[in-house]
Amino acid sequence: MRRLFDTSVLVAAMVAAHPAHERSVRCFEHALSDDGELLVCTHSLAELYAVLTRLPVSPRISSGSARRLIRENLEVDRVRLIPLETADYLAVLDRMAEFGFSGGVIYDALILHTACRAKVDEIVTLNESNFVRLSSGLSVRIVAP
């Protein structure tokens, strides 16, 4: 099984204070240990860093700690990072405009586009409603941890 993890699940898995931490960690560890592929969009690296360093947790997650968390969890042999090209960004902008989507949902659209391009079986996310809305007519399963 090929699973692409959304930033929302990655944040929850890395932050013990997150309400979805336990289930996200279990899901992430299961994906690392099974025979399938665990994929992450390279766009998520920047989004993950931004979210981690701005989370309202105490103590705050420093820039160095955020970098360490990302490297320790995503720079492992079992995680495959999928890059986006300029053409991918332009295709997502076209789809957003075509369907009248606006605002921050574009970040989920980039992850969805990556998932389709990489032919994943599922997107694992805590933002199911955004992905279901964006994935109309596409053949990728949206699941929560």
Domain of residue 129, CATH code: 3.40.50.1010
The residue segments making up the domain with residue 135 are 2-143
Number of domains making up the chain: 1
Q: What is the pLDDT of residue 77?
A: 82
Q: How far is CA 22 from the centre of its chain?
A: 17
Strand partners, 143: 124
**Tens of pLDDT, residue by residue, the chain (145 residues):** 999 999 999 999 999 999 999 999 999 999 988 888 999 999 999 999 999 999 999 999 999 999 999 999 998 788 999 999 999 999 999 999 999 999 999 999 999 999 999 999 999 999 999 999 888 877 889 999 9
Q: What is the pLDDT of residue 75?
A: 81
Nearest residue to 38 via CA among 13, 19, 55: 13
